Structure 1
Amino acid sequence: MEIKILIAEDDNIFRDLVCDIIKKEGYTPIIACDGQEAIDVFFSKNDISLVILDVMMPVHDGWEVLKEIREYSDIPIIMLTALGDEKHEILGLEKGADEYIGKPFSYEVFIARLNNIVKKVKKSYSDEITAGRIKIIQKTHKVVVNDEEIKLNLKEYNLLIYLIKNADIVLTREQILDKVWGYDFEGDIRTIDTHIKTLRAKLSAQGNSIKTVRGCGYMFEVKKNENN
């Protein structure tokens, strides 16, 4: 499978360096020279596997691009920046980056982290999840219920994935919030209840698999004979 990597970097020399590394590893680089171009390119394509973002970019900086992408996608993102102190690294991870690499970086370390993420991407692309009459194709985020595709937004999709991967386990609202919304979420925890209600409705009869556990949270229950 072809791995396409969006590289958003305004420094021509550094961008060319990263592109060369990407090519040597057998991946396909896609270039953006500023934050706005990065956003435009990302949302104009549907086959990007990974994003490498520089923090200090014109028009929109890396933080703004990261926020924009995270509103719609959980695609792996590596932040590259000269702001290599611990505070900025923590900030990047809290905002949804998967890796945070300071400049200048070690060639070997960069390759190791890059390939580690690509390995996870390939695995997720090959994974197909089936739970009862629900089928999920992770590569495309396609969800099929009773042989009919349904449309879920990113939060609903991630919520369903988390519930199914922890089938027959009671999950507290706090656990769901930390995993799906992130531990730094500052909104109302009852937003989970609203999303569960919407998700159940979209799943139709299969929505009954999402059980409410009074005083605790939720559990996805799969009847064994449904998978046969």
Structure 2
Amino acid sequence: MSDVARRVLVVEDDEALAQAIADLLGDEGFVVEQRHDGQSGLTTALEEAFDVIVLDLMLPKRNGFSVCIEIRQAGIHTPLLMLTAKNGDLDEIEGLELGADDFLRKPFEWSILLARINALLRRFERGQSRKIVVGDVVLDTVSRQVSAAGVEARLTSREFRVIEYLMENADRTVTKVEILDAVWGADFEGDPNVVEVYVGYLRRKLDVKGAASRIRTVRGVGYEFSSAISQGLSSEE
């Protein structure tokens, strides 16, 4: 597996248990974010990129099923391990059908939790590895890492999905509406200028200072990710 520290989101309302999981994973080299209710867990999962999500079923504000559904509908395929204190197979079946990758019943052995997380990482990397390369930008759909001119850029989940869509359509002008539909969903009712905001974020994180932007503005239409612009090359935007 990669030498880059793996990021894990733990969504668990039992704060003592969440901290114990974070301590265990931290000792193994993982970087852990904790959230203690379903809504904040969902918001974090949508805004930041993680390698694994550990999600409790019974959560305040939104239960684990609801959070899992929203994550998958947003196009996020991060391996997801669901935890439950309930007995019976029905919850496990429903969770797996809704998009969870594995299920673990409480109480559990720490060694089992760690083994399940590592197994999810291995399975995900073997089964879905795909890289998109445009010019000097490399996007890995499994690790959700992006590098420009060999320098890794730390992107949020939403930023990653915007750049992924642009790179999949490299050298083609895509409209704001197309980007909104692909990343925010066809039922998005917010300000469409949010696309400009995220393109600005990406330019600051990916572009070489003083060089032409890799994301070209096509005035009155949208944006184009150019394969012709690499570090050391310039082109009029």
TM-score range (shorter-chain normalised) is: 0.5 to 0.7
**Percentage identity across paired residues of the two chains:** 28
Cα separation, 2, equivalents of 1:25 and 1:115: 11
User: For 1:117-156, what aligned pairs fall within 5 Å after superposition?
Assistant: 117-121=120-124, 127-128=130-131, 137-138=140-141, 139=144, 142=164, 143-145=167-169, 147=171, 153=182
C-alpha separation in 2, matches of 1:119 and 1:77: 13
Q: What are the residue-to-residue correspondences of 1:40-79 with 2, within 5 Å?
A: 40-45=43-48, 47-72=49-74, 73-79=76-82
**CA deviation after TM superposition for structure 1 residue 118, in Å:** 2.2
CA contact (8 A) 2:132 2:168 kept: no
Q: Contact 1:5 / 1:30 at 8 angstroms: preserved in 2?
A: yes
Q: Deviations over 1:76-108 (max 9, x none)?
A: 111001014222111111111001000001222
Deviation at 1:127, TM superposition (A): 3.9
- The letter of the residue matching 1:144 is E
CA distance in 1, matches of 2:106, 2:31: 22
| Paired residue type of 2:33 | I
Q: Distance in 2 between matches of 1:149 and 1:29?
A: 38
Are 1:106 and 2:109 matched, yes or no?
yes
CA distance in 1, matches of 2:53, 2:60: 17
Q: What are the ranges of 5 or more consecutive residues in structure 1 without an aligned counterpart?
A: 155-228
CA distance in 2 between counterparts of 1:101 and 1:13 reads 18
Q: How many residues align?
A: 150
Aligned to 1:4: 7
2:19 aligned residue (16, 21, 26): 16
Unaligned stretches of 5+ residues in structure 2: 145-159, 184-237
TM-score, length of structure 1 as denominator length = 0.57
Decide which structure has greater helix share: 1
Shift, 1:68, TM fit: 1.0
> RMSD over aligned Cα, in angstroms?
2.9
C-alpha change, 1:90 and 1:149, in structure 2 (3 Å) is farther
